[in-house]
């Protein structure tokens, strides 16, 4: 079949060899220089950096809240439209392409890399926060009431459900299509070929890829910082380890070391093995809590959570005349910026493991499977936490002493709490490692011009930089570490949303051209 787009291009003309690394010169050096400078400045001037980040975060949330709310809803509608349009027949990799991974491995890799560490951190903490209304409640319901409990679960699923995975699906589908079907490099610039033409191989493309690297690494740093704080909290409960920045730095150093070993082994030898292990361990913990948890009908709670989510999805997506405007900015807009900043990482990772899937299969799987698992996970973890809070059981009856402790405070009132807490710490650690090594592979691929097997020293460099950035943000934030972690994500993620909207338009043009060519060649029916 004659391809519409240039198929013989590979970024490499301006690559150079340096200390064993195959460096795509502009993207690597601009990205690496900026991150290195940011880490140095944050360590040298922590108070000033934290103040600047907090100011930037507040301004971005207040200024771009309507834009973010509208943009992410538009992305979800675009994904749903792709499943019913003729382009849904397009197979990633061509008509004869076969999937390279089983569905179980495919689901476990995309889920573990996409949200695993976040579900462990927020599974109890977010519903509890919305329930008690410390920073306001979703849609302005009265806090600490049965209505607040139902709305807390609905809002939590809203933040982790279809909207979030639509963001990932758009980037993943665009990268997979332009790479596998159009034979272009697996970098974000390739998705802009229908809009930029040959210019996407020049400086416009360099800037797009550089922005993708910066958004990705700040999004990852937020998750890694949250993971370090939760591991520290779990170790404090189990072994009396001090909750401090020093302990979190040790955790980050340990995880970065293990992630580096994993990333050296590559996708098959490292990331896939860890993802499969973690998904099985997470399933075991979920099943135990469902069976041994509070007096809750898990099936009924899950169905009720799903119904409340779908029943409130339109109201929660509205951005005008909200009585809970501050809550919307602090939670929903932040989450959308977080998912957007993660989208180059998760999208590219999903793309790499999705050859052989049709557009319809890809969209349905990426939207529905993680959302269903998230509803089940949040229902089991969140409803157990809310049940304890509402019925005067344990520490959660008095609120949360910290978000990092929320999951462990829920587990301490269940049987075998010591064992389950240890399993929880291990889960966070392995999710932590999986996010770090997957992110390193993705960033490494972007800065190497889309190559799948960039040199080992380059993988090690990016794995190390992720750990350093997370540690720097924690250090700069001090007691306001969560705000500092969120600020980097918001500042990087909001402007990147515009790029996502352009990707939607470019992707449809590419898919439509592919369908026209296939029809001309008689490969698909009209």
Express each pLDDT in 476-523 by its tens digit: 776 566 677 778 888 888 889 999 999 999 999 999 999 998 887 665
Cβ neighbors of 314 (< 8 A, separation 6 or more) are none
b/e code 331-357 from CB counts within 10 Å (16+ = b) = bbbbbbbbbbbbbbbbbbbbbbbbbbb
Determine the pLDDT at residue 385.
95
Least confident of 106-115, 130-139, 289-298: 106-115
d(Cα 472, Cα 369) in Å, to the nearest integer? 35
* Residue 7 domain flag: no
Q: Work out the pLDDT band at 23, boundaries 50, 70, 90.
A: low
CA pseudo-torsion sign 175, 177, 179, 180: positive
* Residue 1 domain flag: no
Instruction: Answer whether residue 274 shows pLDDT above 80.
Output: no
CATH number of 431's domain: 1.20.1740
Mean pLDDT of 222-229: 84
* Residue 343 domain flag: yes
Range of the domain at 413: 18-520
* Residue 5 domain flag: no
The predicted-structure confidence for 308-350, as pLDDT tens digits, reads as follows 999 999 999 999 989 899 999 999 999 999 899 889 888 887 8
The pLDDT mean for the chain works out to: 86
Mean pLDDT of 134-162: 95
SS3 18: strand
Mean pLDDT of 11-27: 53
d(Cα 61, Cα 252) in Å, to the nearest integer? 29
The predicted-structure confidence for 443-480, as pLDDT tens digits, reads as follows 888 887 777 666 778 878 888 898 898 888 888 776 56
* Residue 10 domain flag: no
d(Cα 341, Cα 211) in Å, to the nearest integer? 10
Mean pLDDT of 26-50: 89
Instruction: Answer whether residue 10 shows pLDDT above 50.
Output: no
For the chain, how many structural domains are there in total? 1
What is the full DSSP assignment across 236-300? HHHH----SHHHHHHHHHHHHHHHHHHHHHHIIIIIHHHHHHHHHHHHHHHHHHHHHSSS--HHH
Mean pLDDT of 239-259: 89
Instruction: Answer whether residue 526 shows pLDDT above 60.
Output: no
> What proportion of the chain, given as a percentage, has pLDDT over 90?
48
Least confident of 58-62, 372-376, 487-491: 487-491
Question: Which among 19-28, 53-62, 500-509 has the top mean pLDDT?
Answer: 500-509
* Residue 13 domain flag: no
Determine the pLDDT at residue 509.
95
Determine the pLDDT at residue 1.
34
- What tokens does 145 get? 């009431």
* Residue 525 domain flag: no
Determine the pLDDT at residue 269.
52
> What proportion of the chain, given as a percentage, has pLDDT over 70?
88
d(Cα 473, Cα 226) in Å, to the nearest integer? 11
Determine the pLDDT at residue 190.
93
* Residue 460 domain flag: yes
SS3 448: coil
Q: Bigger pLDDT: 114 or 7? A: 114
């Amino acid at each position: 079949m004659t391809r519409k787009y240039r198929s013989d291009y590979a970024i490499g003309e301006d690559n150079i060899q340096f200390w064993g690394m195959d460096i795509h010169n502009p993207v690597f050096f601009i990205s690496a220089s900026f991150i290195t400078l940011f880490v140095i400045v944050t360590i040298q001037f922590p108070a000033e950096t934290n103040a600047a980040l907090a100011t930037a975060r507040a301004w971005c949330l207040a200024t771009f809240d309507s834009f973010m709310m509208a943009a992410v809803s538009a992305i979800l509608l675009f994904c749903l439209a792709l499943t019913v349009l003729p382009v849904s027949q397009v197979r990633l990799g061509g008509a004869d392409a076969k999937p390279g991974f089983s569905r179980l491995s495919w689901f476990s890799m995309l889920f573990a890399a996409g949200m695993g560490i976040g579900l462990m951190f927020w599974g109890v903490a977010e519903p509890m926060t919305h329930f008690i209304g410390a920073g306001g409640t979703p849609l302005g319901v009265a806090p600490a009431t049965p209505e607040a409990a139902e709305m807390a679960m609905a809002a939590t699923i809203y933040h982790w459900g279809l909207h979030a995975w639509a963001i990932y699906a758009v980037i993943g589908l665009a990268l997979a299509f332009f790479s596998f079907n159009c034979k272009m490099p697996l970098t974000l610039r390739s998705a802009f070929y229908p809009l930029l033409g040959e210019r996407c191989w020049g400086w416009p493309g360099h800037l797009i890829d550089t922005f993708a690297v910066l958004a990705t690494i700040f999004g990852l740093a937020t998750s890694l910082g949250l993971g370090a704080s939760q591991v520290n909290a779990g170790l404090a409960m189990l072994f009396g380890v001090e909750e401090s920045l020093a302990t979190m730095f040790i955790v980050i150093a340990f995880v970065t070391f293990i992630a580096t070993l994993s990333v050296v082994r590559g996708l098959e030898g490292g990331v896939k093995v860890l993802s499969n292990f973690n998904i099985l361990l997470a399933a075991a913990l979920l099943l135990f809590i469902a069976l041994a948890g509070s007096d809750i009908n898990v099936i009924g709670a899950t169905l009720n959570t799903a119904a409340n989510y779908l029943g409130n999805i339109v109201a929660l997506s509205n951005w005008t005349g909200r009585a809970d405007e501050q809550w919307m900015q602090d939670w929903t807009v932040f989450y959308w910026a977080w998912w957007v900043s993660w989208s180059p990482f998760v999208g590219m990772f999903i793309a790499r493991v999705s050859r052989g899937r049709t557009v319809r299969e890809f969209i349905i799987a990426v939207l529905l499977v993680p959302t269903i698992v998230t509803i089940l996970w949040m229902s089991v973890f969140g409803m157990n936490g809310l049940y304890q809070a509402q019925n005067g059981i344990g520490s959660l009856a008095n609120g949360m002493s910290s978000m990092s402790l929320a999951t462990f405070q829920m587990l301490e009132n269940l049987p075998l709490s010591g064992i389950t807490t240890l399993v929880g710490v291990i889960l966070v650690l392995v999710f932590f490692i999986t996010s770090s090594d997957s992110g390193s592979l993705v960033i490494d691929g972007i800065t190497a011009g889309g190559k799948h097997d960039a040199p080992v020293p380059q993988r090690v460099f990016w794995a190390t930089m992720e750990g350093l950035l997370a540690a720097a943000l924690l250090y700069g934030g001090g007691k306001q570490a969560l705000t500092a972690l969120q600020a980097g994500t918001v500042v990087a993620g909001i402007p990147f949303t515009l790029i996502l909207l352009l990707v939607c338009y470019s992707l449809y043009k590419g898919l439509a051209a592919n369908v026209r060519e296939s029809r001309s060649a008689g490969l698909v029916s009209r």
